[in-house]
């Protein structure tokens, strides 16, 4: 194993790989990625794989808009031969109460001002988009035709391959045991395969970001929360967009492979590292999804699984340096939408770390914002 590096990235998910690639591209020197299992083995590989630009805060709109732009030609951008299964079949987000419709319309003004082509559609128009949608109780929906889907394993692989071409070293099956600091500076990272001397660490550990923070005495407000998903047998393409209902707290999309992928958020899910599947989820999921998409009742469920959201109190990630320790950067707390904003996140993190002006201002997303009380509350999260 390598003995020293200019930057050590902890976490071989999509954010870690994207950040490592961008660091190498910007000339950050020797970059190393450390992954406990294999690439995309954590939150990245367990996500719902949707990509949407319909958000309620300007930041999330911008981050996702730029990421979709990059994903639309990622293999060319990275010069790798990986099919990332990018499709743009849209997101349909129904509203069921006046309050919800009001919020959505408010979000639309913001989205449209940022050149995101989302629009309000009536229940009748929704039926043209998803013909078997149950519109009972629906006041309308927002729809963005350019939202879509991408394969998280393949996007991670694309970034990893591109990073390796730029001499980034990626160590899988390598667990970080600790980070050594002296006089307020990082000295080395201890792993089960040996030590790496470095003065710069990027914490891209997803659900485990808090633990990595604690290795250097930084208490991050990020906490892990289990979210469950299931997938059905593949069938002919019948549903274009992701249907995402905040009222039912669910999302459901037909993947390019033909299977339907769906998940729900559980309001009483405790904080923790449990990623076991539950039968309760199976029951709740089926009951709710069949209510709005009735023909799905005829499909066979093939598999269910769970993963960790790395939750932040305001549902917006922490991107940046920590006030307590020099050159300890965090890119985590994505609250369930890290995959879709990973391309731009990697770029911004790298720009910040090498000291270049960032493409968007992101200084305000540092971990210190919670102490300052400057939160960015995202209203639109399942």
Nearer to other proteins, 109 or 297 (CB): 297
CA dihedral 79, 150, 144, 260 (to 10 degrees): 160
Which burial class, exposed, middle or buried, applies to 192 when counting CB atoms under 10 A from its CB (0-12, 13-18, 19+)? exposed
Nearer to other proteins, 39 or 308 (CB): 39
Nearer to other proteins, 41 or 175 (CB): 41
Q: Is 297 in the site for other proteins (CB under 8 A)?
A: yes
Among residues 153, 247, 360, 370, which is the contact residue for other proteins, using CB under 8 A? 153
Q: Is 111 in the site for other proteins (CB under 8 A)?
A: no
Among residues 182, 300, 357, 371, which is the contact residue for other proteins, using CB under 8 A? 300
Q: Is 81 in the site for other proteins (CB under 8 A)?
A: no
Pick the piece of the chain touching other proteins (CB under 8 A) from 51-59, 263-271, 284-292, 323-331: 284-292
In 3D space, the residue among 343, 338, 337 whose CA is nearest the CA of residue 380 turns out to be 337
**What string of DSSP letters covers 49-108?**
-EE----SSHHHHHHHHHHHHHHTTHHHHHT-------B---EEEEE-SHHHHHHHHHHH
Q: Is 165 in the site for other proteins (CB under 8 A)?
A: no
| C-beta neighbour count of 271 within 10 angstroms | 11
Pick the piece of the chain touching other proteins (CB under 8 A) from 38-46, 139-147, 175-183, 360-368: 38-46
Tell the smallest beta-carbon distance from residue 268 to other proteins (Å).
19
Task: Locate 51 and state its tokens.
Answer: 């990509």
Show the site string, 254-273: x = touches other proteins by CB under 8 A, - = not. ---x----------------
Task: Locate 251 and state its tokens.
Answer: 């999302």
Let me know: does 227 contact 277? Beta carbons within 8 Å. Answer: no
**First CA to last CA distance, the chain:** 41
Among residues 277, 324, 326, 358, which is the contact residue for other proteins, using CB under 8 A? 277
Pick the piece of the chain touching other proteins (CB under 8 A) from 117-125, 137-145, 281-289, 367-375: 281-289
Return d(Cα 64, Cα 36) in angstroms, integer. Answer: 28
Task: Tell me, by CB under 8 A, how many residues bind other proteins.
Answer: 28
Tell the smallest beta-carbon distance from residue 300 to other proteins (Å).
4
Q: Is 166 in the site for other proteins (CB under 8 A)?
A: no
Nearer to other proteins, 204 or 296 (CB): 296
Among residues 267, 298, 355, 373, which is the contact residue for other proteins, using CB under 8 A? 298
Supply the angle between the helices 342-354 and 58-71 in degrees, to the nearest 10: 100
Tell the smallest beta-carbon distance from residue 277 to other proteins (Å).
5
Q: Is 85 in the site for other proteins (CB under 8 A)?
A: no
Task: Locate 357 and state its tokens.
Answer: 């002006």
Nearer to other proteins, 135 or 172 (CB): 172
Give the Cα-Cα-Cα angle 213, 306, 289 (nearest 5 degrees).
130
Q: Which of residues 221-250 bind other proteins (CB under 8 A)?
A: 232-233
Let me know: does 14 contact 158? Beta carbons within 8 Å. Answer: no
Which residues touch 283 (CB under 8 Å, ≥6 apart)?
none
Q: Is 35 in the site for other proteins (CB under 8 A)?
A: no
Task: Locate 99 and state its tokens.
Answer: 């309050």
Q: Is 41 in the site for other proteins (CB under 8 A)?
A: yes
Return d(Cα 118, Cα 139) in angstroms, integer. Answer: 17
| C-beta neighbour count of 143 within 10 angstroms | 22
Tell the smallest beta-carbon distance from residue 257 to other proteins (Å).
7
Tally the residues of the chain.
382
Q: Is 33 in the site for other proteins (CB under 8 A)?
A: no
Tell the smallest beta-carbon distance from residue 322 to other proteins (Å).
32
Among residues 66, 146, 147, 157, which is the contact residue for other proteins, using CB under 8 A? 157
Which H or E run contains 25?
Answer: helix 14-25
The residue ranges that bind other proteins (CB under 8 A) are 38-41, 45, 153, 157, 232-233, 257, 277, 279, 282-283, 286-287, 289-290, 296-305
């Amino acid at each position: 194993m390598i003995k020293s590096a200019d930057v050590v990235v902890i976490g071989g998910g999509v954010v870690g790989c994207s950040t490592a690639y961008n660091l190498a591209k910007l000339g950050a020197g020797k970059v190393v990625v450390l992954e406990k299992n294999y690439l995309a083995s954590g939150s990245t590989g367990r996500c719902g794989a949707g990509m949407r630009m319909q958000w309620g805060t300007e930041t999330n709109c911008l981050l996702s808009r730029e990421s979709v732009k990059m994903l639309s030609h990622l293999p060319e951008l990275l010069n790798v031969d990986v099919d990332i299964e990018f499709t743009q079949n849209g997101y349909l987000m129904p509203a069921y109460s006046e309050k919800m419709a009001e919020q959505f319309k408010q979000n639309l003004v913001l989205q449209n001002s940022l050149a995101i082509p989302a629009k309000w559609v009536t229940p009748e128009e929704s039926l043209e988009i998803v013909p078997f949608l149950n519109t009972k109780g629906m006041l309308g929906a927002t729809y963005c035709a350019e939202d879509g889907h991408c394969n998280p394993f393949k996007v991670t692989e694309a970034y990893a391959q591109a990073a390796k071409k730029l001499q980034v070293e990626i160590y899988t099956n390598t667990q970080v045991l600790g980070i050594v600091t002296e006089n307020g500076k990082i000295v080395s990272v201890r792993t089960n395969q040996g030590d790496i001397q470095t003065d710069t660490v990027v914490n891209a550990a997803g659900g485990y970001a808090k633990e990595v923070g604690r290795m250097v005495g930084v208490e991050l407000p990020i906490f892990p929360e289990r979210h469950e998903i299931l997938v059905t047998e593949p069938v002919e393409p019948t549903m274009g967009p992701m249907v995402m209902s905040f009222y039912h707290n669910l999302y459901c999309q037909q993947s390019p492979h033909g299977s339907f992928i769906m998940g729900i958020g559980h309001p009483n899910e405790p904080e923790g590292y449990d990623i076991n599947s539950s039968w309760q989820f199976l029951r709740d999921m089926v009951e709710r999804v069949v209510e709005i998409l009735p023909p799905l009742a005829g499909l066979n469920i093939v598999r269910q699984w769970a993963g960790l959201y790395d939750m932040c109190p305001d549902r917006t990630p922490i991107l940046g340096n920590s006030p307590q320790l020099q050159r300890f950067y965090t890119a985590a707390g994505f609250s369930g939408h890290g995959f879709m904003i990973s391309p731009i996140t990697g770029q911004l993190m790298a720009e910040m770390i090498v000291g270049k002006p960032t493409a968007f201002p992101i200084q305000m997303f540092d971990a210190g914002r919670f102490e300052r009380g400057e939160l960015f509350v995202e209203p639109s999260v399942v």
